[in-house]
Amino acid sequence: MSARKTTSVFLAFLVIAALLCASSAAQNGVSAGLSGVVVDISGAAVPGAKLVLTYVRSGAERRQVSGPEGEFVFLRLSTGDYRLQVESAGFAASQKAISYQGAEIRLIVPLTAAASSEVTVSGTDYVEETTTPAHVLITPDEIDRMPSQSVSSPFSSLITMTAPGVSADSNGSFHPLGDHAESSFSVDGQPITDQLSRTFSTQPSLNTLQSVEIREGAPGADVGDKTSMVIVAQTRSGLDQRRPAGSIHLGRGTFATSNVSANLGFGSERFGSFSAVDAVNSARFLDTPETINLHANGNAENIFERLDYRLTDKTSLQLNASLSHSWFQTPNTFDQQALSQNQRQTIISFNIAPQVIHTFNSRAFGRTNLWLRQDKIRYRPSDNIFSDTPAYLEQARRLTNAGIRPEFTYVHRRHNVNVGGEFKHTFLAEQFATGLTSPTYNSPCLDQEGAPSANTSVRDPSQCSTIGLAPNSAYLPGLLSLDLTRGGTIYSFRGKTDIKQFALFGQDFIRYGDFQFKLGLRYDKYNGLVGTHGLQPRVGLTYSMPRLHTTLRGDYSRVFLTPYNENLIVASSNGPGSPSASLGAADSHILSTANRNQFNVGFTTALKRISFSGEYLWKFTYGAYDFDVLLNSPLTFPTQFQKSKIDGGLVRITLLPSHGLGGFFTVSHTRSRLFGPQTGGVSFSAPYSDVVRPDHDQGLSMNLNLRYQFGKRGPWIDASYRYDGGLVSVATPDIATALRLTGDEQQQMGLYCGNTFATVSAPLRSCDGPIRATRIRIPAPGTYDADRNPARVAVRNTVDLAVGEDNLISHENQSIGIRVEVVNLNNTSALYNYLSTFSGTHFLTPRAVTAGIRYTF
């Protein structure tokens, strides 16, 4: 079948599906906020029971009638307190007080002939659906109160601090379960698979979120592409809020950081509006390559609007719209600051995402999402070309993504069926200009101390001996044409392309006694710089042990992966005269799609006030992706390798809120291994060994969070501890390599010989005694192994603390509260990464204190 005919078939399917339905999936669709069954005293279903759900804050009511098997469902709830009343002829009325915190609640409502009964149900009393993979539910209190370790990317910080298996990186980057960035977001059903770290895009604001679920287990058939971690976020709504409600927050903190946020929600049973704005300005907007802030100012502004309209009792419309802007400086090293380097970046993002939800009956409902999203990035150089070191760089990049996703879910007896499709069209435009400005970055010669020579008269290693210098084996002759210190010229590039992606999926969760079988199948077709497709079975088995409150699970998943879109055009260029050849790349190939076989086993034990979950995973990827960086600049390129192997274990213990006390503990171990040779993308560094640990590999990480609320409306305290075992440092395999680094690079790693520490102006070139580094663990001489004993960033331990009083002054529905947050309370001086091929060198935020005041109405 031709590509045009295939496209027509897919589009026809999606249009028909969109007209017929619009869905809530068991895994990725509309979460059933409150669902369950009505039964009599013998456990038999009670059909036709009348249910009234009242939102206590506004008095807004929703009504349902239980189905033939006693089932009922209430979708799209706002967080807060509800009252559920159930009546049926011949039975006494039943009433339940419910606290909904964003996680689905499933109830069994027994009706008796006795007097009316009332039971209180909290948001933590929900019954876990066995269709759900290993996951973490983040409550509204955690979203609101946990301190953020990143000024510019608080959403990434929240994920890192709550989920096991996440390696923290700088500037909002995080590495899920041993992968570089194989994570995707689903915001009210809109899939986003492009990178959302601060230097690539704009993340959803926490001010707009009602709940977050982080799915780390085996992916269902309804999610594709980047599936190592799926972050499912539900935004806030104004439905059922008859009285306008919202808040205004003002904060000021260390590094001249100021932030302001406000939100407003109002509506009725039919119409709802929720608006949010927030802004932040800081002298340490991005993580810095030095212990002090040099050229690190930045700001960001976000506007969000959500409109809801219940067209009928069964059909609802929703529109999400957002606009974001950020401007920030690229932080300087001491060397760059001395040259007055002034590189800056701006990002403008917008998103428009309508959807329609239709409930056919209590067993079947659907959703169709449509969206248009764009990131427009501009990287600006210094006014003086030679103020930028080691390279001049200017970049403009635009990514536009449009798509449609219809789904349909049907639940009946043993079956929970979910089918749907997805079409995405991505438009890429890339433009950049670059040239070398440092004579030592790609010098043909080495001086007497073994460091790159600043002599610009020599342009070939064969000429070094004539002036008393030694040839540099790391010299790349292809870069000579753009070495501005040796007569080269600036290289410029422009390119455009588009990518079409299609998907069809179906899955059925079949219950049989204490067993549940997952049978899923997904088909993906990718038409970009290459055209490929993949069929992916997703199967699993779950066994429940009710007496032990424990569920065991095992899954197999085939996953079809696609290349990163960021700078994809340049990364896929090859051949004489191509951009990669002109930039002196060591090698280049067109990036293709990849395939993964993934195996998961795990368990969940849910007791009354505490729950335990564990997972072990194995991922075997053929055509694994990573990133390389150009000229130690922010310009990064996707790369591809023959294969990768990842395995790891995750454990999370959750202490459900009781008498004001709650919290969680996570511990995880992952092992990530890349196998050469490189098969796609651009490489500017030496070829990898046969097997290596990439610089996003981290062996051990832990999170501990404890929070306490004094009374129902009293003061609160939230304390977090984070342990990081350290990412791999591929740039420092041994002491000999460390001694060839610049003085600035040596002092960043804390290199010292005896009692003498390297400084910017006095690097260490030799050492007769013991030599170590305080922030990098360099293998002992002769012990380095790229797989089993690589160099790593040193272990770090950090403590964060937040205290507050939300009702310092209160009157009726209005209150004034205050809070104080301290990030890195123990003031650890540590690195996220060091000369990383993906992001360079960045330090952890030093101790930072922020005080805020909030008015709530």
The DSSP string of 121-143 is E-TT-PPPPTT--SEEEEPHHHH
Q: Is there a common fold for 28-121 and 135-234?
A: no
Give the pLDDT band (50/70/90) at residue 687.
low
Provide the token pair at 492: 């410029």
With helix as H, strand as E and coil as C, how does 232-291 read?
EEEECCCCCCCCCEEEEEEEEECCCEEEEEEEEEEECCCEEEEEEEEEEEECCCCCCCCC
Residue matched to tokens 């490929």: 532
785 - beta bridge partners? 789
95-99, 107-111, 332-336 — which one is most confidently predicted on average? 332-336
Query: Which amino acid makes up residue 265?
Result: G
Pick the CATH number of 28-121 from 3.90.1150.10, 2.60.40.1120, 3.30.450.70, 3.10.150.10: 2.60.40.1120
| Residue 96: band (very low, low, confident or very high) from pLDDT cuts 50, 70, 90 | confident
Specify the DSSP class assigned to residue 826: T
pLDDT at 6: 44
Q: Report which DSSP code applies to 69.
A: T
Closest CA to 812 of 243, 88, 411, 32: 243
For residue 824, the SS3 value is coil
Query: So what's the pLDDT on residue 59?
Result: 78
Q: Is the pLDDT of residue 653 over 60?
A: yes
Per-residue tokens: 103: 């996680």
Task: Say how far apart CA 824 and CA 255 lie, in whole Å.
Answer: 14
pLDDT mean over 389-400: 91
Residue 34's nearest CA partner among 116, 94, 96, 90 is: 96
Q: How confident is the model at residue 569 (pLDDT cuts 50, 70, 90)?
A: confident
* Residues forming beta bridges with residue 492, ordered by sequence position: 433
Q: Say what the pLDDT of residue 89 is.
A: 87
**DSSP for 374-408?**
EEEEEEE--SSGGGSSSEEEEEEEEEEEEEEEEEE
Higher pLDDT, 118 or 823: 823
Structure tokens at 191: 């899939």
pLDDT at 565 over 80: yes
- Quote the tokens at residue 195: 């990178």
Question: Residue 432 pLDDT more than 90?
Answer: no
Nearest by Cα to 631 from 528, 532, 483, 758? 483
> What DSSP string runs through 515-540?
EEEEEEEEEEEEESSSEEEEEEEEEE
Average pLDDT over residues 706-714: 92
Determine the distance from the C-alpha atom of residue 301 to the mean position of all C-alpha atoms in its chain, rounded to a whole number.
20
Q: Which of 307-311, 395-399, 447-451, 794-798 has the lowest mean pLDDT?
A: 447-451
Q: How confident is the model at residue 23 (pLDDT cuts 50, 70, 90)?
A: very low
Q: How confident is the model at residue 548 (pLDDT cuts 50, 70, 90)?
A: very high
pLDDT of residue 115: 53
Cα–Cα distance for residue pair 105/383, rounded to 1 Å: 58
Average pLDDT over all residues of the chain: 88
Give dist(CA 96, CA 463) in Å, integer.
86
Domain-wise residue ranges, the chain? 28-121, 135-234, 235-438+492-732+793-856, 445-476, 735-783
Tell me, what's the pLDDT at 717?
97
Q: What is the pLDDT of residue 30?
A: 46
Please name the residues in contact with 292: beta carbons below 8 A apart, sequence gap of 6 or more: none
Q: What is the DSSP letter of 711?
A: T
Q: DSSP string covering 803-850, please?
A: EEEEEEEEETTEEEEEEEEEESTT----EEEEEETTTEEEEPP--EEE
Report the percent of the chain where pLDDT is more than 70: 90
Residue 425 pLDDT exceeds 80 = yes
355 close to 314: Cβ distance less than 8 angstroms: no
* Nearest in space to 440 (alpha carbons), one of 392, 394, 488, 486: 486
**pLDDT tier at 370, thresholds 50, 70, 90:** very high
The band of 584, judged by pLDDT with boundaries at 50, 70 and 90, is low
Structure tokens at 250: 């003002």
Q: Which value, in Å, is the radius of gyration of the alpha carbons in the chain?
A: 28
Q: Which residues contact 191 (CB under 8 A, 6 or more apart)?
A: 28, 184, 185, 223, 403, 405, 422, 424
Query: Do residues 704 and 724 touch, judged by C-beta distance below 8 A?
Result: no
Tell me yes or no: is domain 135-234 CATH 2.170.130. Answer: yes
Average pLDDT over residues 387-395: 89
Segment 653-666 mean pLDDT: 93
Bridging pattern class, strands 594-606 and 550-561? antiparallel
Q: How many CA atoms lie within 13 A of 393 on its CB side?
A: 22
Other CB atoms within 10 A of residue 219 CB = 30
Give the tens place of pLDDT for each residue, 126-183.
Answer: 444 444 678 898 988 899 999 999 999 999 999 999 999 999 998 888 999 999 888 9
For the stretch 330-351, pLDDT in tens is 999 998 999 999 999 999 999 9
Rounded distance, CA 700 to CA 166, Å?
A: 10
Looking at per-residue pLDDT, the higher value among 15 and 802 belongs to: 802
CA distances from 201 to 152, 614, 627 (A): 11, 32, 17
Residue keyed to tokens 């449609």: 404
pLDDT at res. 185: 93
Ranking 62-71, 97-106, 728-737, 766-775 by mean pLDDT, the lowest is 97-106
Report residue 98's pLDDT band, with 50, 70 and 90 as the boundaries.
Answer: confident
**Least confident span in 15-24, 223-232, 264-273, 298-307:** 15-24
Least confident piece of the model among 9-23, 71-85, 512-526: 9-23
CATH of 235-438+492-732+793-856, one of 3.65.10.10, 2.40.170.20, 2.40.10.10, 3.30.70.270: 2.40.170.20
> Residue 150 in 3-state DSSP?
coil
Q: What span, in angstroms and rounded, lies between the C-alpha atoms of 783 and 790?
A: 9
Contact 34, 74 (CB under 8 A): yes
84 or 363, greater pLDDT? 84
Window from 577-591, 644-658, 753-767 with minimum mean pLDDT: 577-591
Q: Is the pLDDT of residue 644 over 90?
A: yes
Element (H, E) at 813: none
Output the DSSP codes for 348-378: EEEEEEEEEEEE-SSSEEEEEEEEEEEEEEE
pLDDT at 592 over 60: yes
**pLDDT tens profile 721-747:** 999 999 999 889 999 999 989 999 999
pLDDT tens-digit profile of 182-214? 899 999 999 999 888 777 788 899 999 998 999
Structural contact between residues 698 and 125, judged by C-beta atoms closer than 8 angstroms: no
Using the predicted structure, report yes or no on whether residue 122 has a pLDDT greater than 70: no
Whether pLDDT at 118 is above 70: no
Q: Is residue 734 helix, strand or coil?
A: coil
What is the DSSP secondary-structure string of 579-636? HHHHTT-SEEE----EEEEEEEEEEEEE-SSEEEEEEEEEEEEEEEEEEEESTTSS-E
pLDDT at 661 over 70: yes
Has residue 49 got a pLDDT over 80?
yes
Q: Which residue has the higher pLDDT, 554 or 688?
A: 554
Q: Are 403 and 423 in contact (CB under 8 A)?
A: yes
674's tokens:
């890349």
